[in-house]
């Protein structure tokens, strides 16, 4: 039987809570940023540090059609 990869669900919860700290979408949750905006970041370069890592994750989730992963979290963390 194949071993399942280890996954830290806390990272997903943290991503669901994180808000954009600056710019046009300041205060909006990262997972609610418009896809074209996240794609723009991927082309221009993500900011350094944790924010950049989280935006990169949001980019991967959005371009791969995995946004449904956040649906179960919407009720727990309020309106995204």
pLDDT tens digits for range 24-44: 999 999 999 999 999 999 999
pLDDT at 1: 58
Q: What is the mean predicted confidence (pLDDT) over 60-71?
A: 89
Residue 11: predicted pLDDT: 84
- Residue 76's pLDDT is 56
Q: What is the dihedral of CA 44, 50, 53, 54, to 10 degrees?
A: -100
The confidence band for 74, taking pLDDT boundaries of 50, 70 and 90, is low
Nearest to 73 by CA among 19, 6, 12, 26: 12
In this prediction, residue 29 carries a pLDDT of 93
The pTM assigned to this predicted structure is 0.80
CA-wise closest residue to 16 among 58, 65, 47: 58
pLDDT of residue 78: 47
Domain boundary assignment for the chain: 32-80
């Amino acid at each position: 039987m194949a071993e399942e990869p280890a996954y830290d669900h806390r990272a997903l919860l943290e991503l669901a809570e994180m808000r954009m700290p600056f710019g046009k979408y300041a205060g909006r949750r990262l997972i609610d940023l418009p896809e074209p905006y996240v794609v723009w970041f991927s082309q221009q370069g993500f900011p350094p540090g944790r924010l950049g890592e989280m935006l990169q994750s949001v980019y991967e989730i959005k371009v791969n059609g995995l946004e449904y992963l956040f649906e179960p979290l919407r009720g727990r963390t309020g309106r995204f």
